[in-house]
Amino acid sequence: MSAHDQDHQDNSTHFGYQTVDKNEKESKVASVFHSVAAQYDVMNDLMSFGIHRLWKRFTIDASGIRPGNKVLDLAGGTGDLTAKFSQLVGKDGQVVLADINSSMLNVGRDKLRDRGLVQNIDYVQANAQHLPFEDNTFDVITIAFGLRNVTDKDEALRSMYRVLKPGGRLLVLEFSKPEQELLTKAYDFYSFNILPKMGELVAKDGDSYQYLAESIRMHPNQETLKEMMETAGFEQTTFKNLTGGIVALHKGYKF
């Protein structure tokens, strides 16, 4: 491999099945989420048949959250996890809803305020790779369906590790690789044939949902992500497959 190729590889990343420049991915992902933000919740319910709510509830149960904790809901989007965390940590706790995308953050903020959840939630527009928080700040960090959109996942994991308190835990809820071959085939058919059409019909944006399907396939599988978390410094790292491995919840501690 020539130096030029090496250099090119270091500066390139995936945007779905396309190989793009690292600087380009951020803006491309941003345009996807600016486009889908308004219909994000409806599409989530439609695409997952409402099961995403159960996946998120499972994440909350696995977080071991308690009143008074400080939580970072990274790539928190429309605030599903933040809403529950806000209630569970109580008035002595704090939840920071962070997202790189302003449209998603606005939708999330409006939704939570409409539900009367105001007292312990802060909103921060932040890049997961360069979290604007002091070291050892949070008891729990969650990133649900967000890591696969991050340009440099390793750097993001290191950044999360830095802002996590010793004894704190990171929970990564993300699409993964189904365990059964038959399920994989059915899931592939659904993702590439039905999902983009659904996106076209409801959100008037089939391309964004085509990207969603492709980005899921390009995301590291369960074992690879576990190794990446360990490389970033996380300990006692485990994962739990949900719905046959369509989604996996990874958990790691900082000691």
Partner 1 sequence: MTNTTAMYQQFICAVLETVINKALALSLNGSKGLQSINQKCLVVYLSELGFPLSLMICEDKVLVTSLNEHPDCVINTSIKTLLALKQDMQITELIKQDKLDISGDLKVAQQFAQFFEKLDIDWQTELAKHIGDIPTFKLTQLGKKLSRKLNFAAKQIEADSTEWLVHEKRLVVSNSEVSSFNLQVSDLDVRTEALTQKLTRITQLINNAKDICE
Binding site for partner 1 (CB under 8 A): 51, 53-54, 57-58, 60-61, 64-67, 84, 87-88, 90, 240-245
- HSE (CB half, 13 Å, CA atoms) of 227? 5
Q: Which is nearer to partner 1, 5 or 114 (CB)?
A: 114
Token pair in block for residue 36: 């889908």
Per-residue H/E/C for 206-229: HHHHHHHHHHHHHCCCHHHHHHHH
Q: How far is the CB of 178 from partner 1 (least distance, A)?
A: 11
Token pair in block for residue 23: 């600087």
Q: Which is nearer to partner 1, 56 or 109 (CB)?
A: 56
Q: Which is nearer to partner 1, 51 or 124 (CB)?
A: 51
- Cβ–Cβ contacts within 10 Å for residue 132, how many? 11
Token pair in block for residue 196: 């983009």
- HSE (CB half, 13 Å, CA atoms) of 13? 20
34 Cβ contact list (under 8 Å, min separation 6): 101, 102, 103
Q: How far is the CB of 118 from partner 1 (least distance, A)?
A: 12
125 Cβ contact list (under 8 Å, min separation 6): 98, 99, 100, 101, 102, 105
Q: Which is nearer to partner 1, 57 or 197 (CB)?
A: 57
Q: How far is the CB of 61 from partner 1 (least distance, A)?
A: 5
Contact at 8 Å (CB) between 209 and 42? no
Q: Which is nearer to partner 1, 135 or 181 (CB)?
A: 181
Q: How far is the CB of 189 from partner 1 (least distance, A)?
A: 21
Q: How far is the CB of 159 from partner 1 (least distance, A)?
A: 27
Q: How far is the CB of 71 from partner 1 (least distance, A)?
A: 13
Q: How far is the CB of 243 from partner 1 (least distance, A)?
A: 6
Contact at 8 Å (CB) between 30 and 105? no
Q: Which is nearer to partner 1, 88 or 202 (CB)?
A: 88
Write down the residue that tokens 């790189």 correspond to. Answer: 100
Contact at 8 Å (CB) between 207 and 136? no
Output the CA torsion sign for 217, 80, 99, 141. negative
Q: Which is nearer to partner 1, 39 or 243 (CB)?
A: 243
Write down the residue that tokens 């959100």 correspond to. Answer: 203
